[in-house]
Structure 1
Amino acid sequence: MKHVDLNLLTALDVLLSECSVTRAAHRLNLSPSAMSRTLSRLRIATGDQLLVLAGRTLVPTPYAEQLGEHVHELARNARAILQPAHRSLDIATLERTFTIRANDGFVELLGASLMATVTQTAPQIRIHFVSKPDKDAQPLREGMIDLEVGVLGTTAPELRTRLLFRDRFVGICRSGHPFLKQVTAKHYASYQHVVVSRKRQLSGPVDDALGLLGLRRTIAMVVPTYANAMQIARYTDLLGLVPHSCVGRDLLGDHAGSAGIQRFELPVRTPEIKVAAIWHPRLHADPAHRWLRDTIFAICKNTVP
């Protein structure tokens, strides 16, 4: 459409509606001479006179009559497309499935709260959680998932992010474990450990911190999820390492040990964990997607310890 001026479509629609250059000019806030020049351009573009004199009035040619309703519909649709989108949303009646990629810890921590909110405010929305084996941005780019929840660190520059909460690593062990009598770095390194890894990567921030002290821990078992690590630590003498948010409120304070497992602050410092929502820019202005993001943010703010 190298030489097509779509403004002519609106002008043609008004001219065919009014059958008057003067009235068409008034509707489009143009001078009669400018409207007359536009009619000349339309005649050249279509190869038809479109409007011709019949006495002192203009009447449409057979071709113009044929175009009439079709042009009006095209002009209306063009205006609708080329204007800011209408962003009203009735979340109570919206039927949609959102696919969220997140690790098991997030699902266990907030999945039930998210479902309770959805059931109450948007009962026809479905939430589909899928596993998070890596930080690959392609599923977001290709629309295979709507939202990702995970540690900040994506290398895709176009992705949008919003910090949900800050977390940190804590140690876990069975209730009454002898390690709890002496929580030191040296004592910590002397025990065997269970670690969580999906890529067979056995070292992490805690190992770096131990290394600065000339210490090294022994890894006896590798499991794929934090839930697995907590179960192993509950029934063995292995020490585990999980995000604080995974431990749950019921294991904090006076209730520590009530589920057969106890958390402890690590005897070394590890970097803070920043958990964020991540999405593709094409969904940024979508009102339903914005509702999902805001809902998850609110749940994290009110739930994460």
Structure 2
Amino acid sequence: MKNVDVDLNLLVALDVLLVEGSVTAAAQRLGLSISAMSRTLARLRAATGDPLLVRAGRGMVPTPRAEELRDHVHNLARDVQAVLQPQPKTLDVGALERTFTIRVSEAFMACLAGPVVAAVSTAAPGICLRFAPKPDKNAGPLRDGMIDLEIGVIGTTAPEIRTRLLFCDHLIGIARAKHPLLSGDTPVSPDTFAACHHIAVSKDGNVAQPVDAVLNGLGLARNIRVIVPGFPDAIRIARHSELVALVPHSCLGSLLQADDREISGLMMFDVPVLLPEIRISAMWHPRQEADPAHKWLRDTVIGVCRAAYPPRQP
């Protein structure tokens, strides 16, 4: 089939002609001369193969084909005008009806999904949030539009992905209340820590973590007895066993009681070696950058996370 160049101005003109039913009225509405509007009608007749408007006394009436096209043309013209104009500067958040998919870890679901949902649903009750699991750090779903926003440690090498830091986290040790490791007044040492039976967290079975590299440098190694896919699993097992685990401080979430180091049957302790901080970020594709609704969503998520975990004072 031969390609045909379509002038979208004809669509708008046809919409006005069918609404007004008059060349003169259509010309006035579009700011054209009557002769220019008559030429446009002639082009529309040639393009559609139909007279569209025919003389009836002193006025004009639409043909059956024009009657058939009227609603469809009006909807198309409205959609074209909506697409080919800048987005509004203001956003009516309360009127939004949209679904956003956010890819997060189990730890985020346990600690921050609730506050995020509360903030979003209060301001925008028409928004549906779909939380998707995070099996890896592949940027493909962001690029393909399957994921609107991702929360976690930056692991993708995709250069176009936009990022904003949410908060900095750090690992904390946990053990059941009255665990022998924490029975005395002496701080946990690298030797006593390494000698414990450990829970390691790994989705793919690779248990090598920064803590292992530091311990190896001291001639020590963790005695790993259990491997689990997520930090919430490690917390549950540590609460009911003799094993200890390392989890991000944020994972303890609502379990934390001010400065109390006892958390619902668990005790937390400082890791006895220096470890790098964990930088948790929001990530999205550039296609979403200028979307007012997406900007509102990511600003809301960022605000909730930063309020929950403000920067630590040096």
User: Structure 2-normalised TM-score?
Assistant: 0.73
Shift, 1:223, TM fit: 0.9
Secondary structure at the aligned position of 1:153 is classed as coil
Amino acid at match of 2:151: V
Report the CA distance shift for 1:248/1:78 in structure 2 as closer, same or farther (over 3 A).
closer
Judge conservation of contact 1:89–1:288 (CA < 8 Å) in 2.
no
Q: Is the 8 A contact 1:173 1:233 kept in 2?
A: yes
Partner of 1:170: 172
2:174/2:246 contact within 8 Å kept = yes
Which amino acid letter does the alignment assign opposite residue 156 of structure 1? A
CA shift digits 1:69-100 (9 cap, x unpaired): 99999887655533322363343x32222221
Contact 1:98 / 1:128 at 8 angstroms: preserved in 2? yes
Shift of 1:302: 1.3
Q: CA deviation at 1:118?
A: 2.8
Question: Does residue 279 of the first structure (1) align with residue 284 of the second (2)?
Answer: yes
Moved more, 247-256 or 94-103: 247-256
CA distance in 2, matches of 1:82, 1:258: 56
Give the secondary structure class of the aligned counterpart of 2:271: coil
**TM-superposition CA deviations, 1:200-254 (whole Å, max 9, x none):** 0111010011112121111110011211111111122211010011123543554
Note closer, same or farther for the CA distance 1:132–1:83 as it changes in structure 2 (3 Å cut): same
Name the CA distance, whole Å, in 1 between partners of 2:154 and 2:98.
Answer: 27
Segment of structure 1 superposing worse, 221-230 or 181-190: 181-190
State the alpha-carbon separation in 1 of the partners of residues 232 and 74 from structure 2: 62
- Could you say which residue in structure 2 is the equivalent of 1:149? 151
Q: 1:247 and 2:249 equivalent?
A: no
Summarize deviations over 1:44-70 as a string: whole Å, max 9, x none.
Answer: x9xxxxxxxxxxxxxxxxxxxxxxx99
Amino acid aligned to 1:301? R
Q: Distance in 1 between matches of 2:5 and 2:118?
A: 56
Does the CA contact (< 8 Å) of 1:251 and 1:263 recur in 2? Answer: no
SS of the residue 1:154 aligns to: coil
Letter in 1 for 2:231: Y
Q: Are 1:84 and 2:89 an aligned pair?
A: no
The 1-side partners of 2:75 and 2:126 are apart by 34
One-letter code of the match for 1:255? D
Please name the residue that 1:37 is paired with: none
Which residues in structure 2 correspond to 1:42-61 (within 5 Å)? none
CA contact (8 A) 2:175 2:244 kept: yes
Q: What's the offset of the Cα at 1:197? A: 0.8
CA separation of 1:80 and 1:96: change in aligned 2, threshold 3 A: closer
From the superposition, tell whether residues 127 and 254 of structure 1 become closer, same or farther in structure 2 (CA, over 3 Å). same
Give RMSD over aligned pairs.
4.1
Residues 80 and 195 of structure 1, relative CA distance in 2, 3 Å threshold: same
Contact 2:181 2:192 in 1 (8 A): no
- % of aligned pairs identical? 49
- Asked whether the 8 Å contact 1:172–1:242 carries over to 2, the reply is yes
- Partner of 2:191 in structure 1? 186
C-alpha distance 279-28 of structure 1, shift in aligned 2 (>3 A):
same
Q: Quick check: 1:171–1:241 contact (8 Å CA) kept in 2?
A: yes
Counterpart secondary structure, 1:99: strand
For the 8 Å contact 1:96–1:126, the answer to whether it is kept is: yes
Residue pair 1:89, 1:287 contacting (<8 A) in 2 also: no
Label 1:295 to 1:189 Cα distance change in 2 as closer, same or farther (>3 A): same
Matched length = 302
Q: Does 1:264 align with 2:266?
A: no
Residue 300 of structure 1 aligns with an amino acid whose one-letter code is C
Deviation at 1:9, TM superposition (A): 8.9
- When normalised by structure 1's length, the TM-score is 0.75
Q: Is the 8 A contact 1:247 1:263 kept in 2?
A: no
**Which 5+ residue runs of structure 1 have no aligned equivalent?**
18-26, 30-44, 46-68
Unaligned runs of 5+ residues in structure 2 are: 21-28, 32-46, 48-69
**Correspondence 1:206 to 2:208:** no
The CA distance in 1 between the partners of 2:307 and 2:226, in whole Å, is: 34
2:168·2:280 contact (CA, 8 Å) conserved in 1? Answer: yes
- Over 4 Å off, 4+ runs: 1-14, 69-80
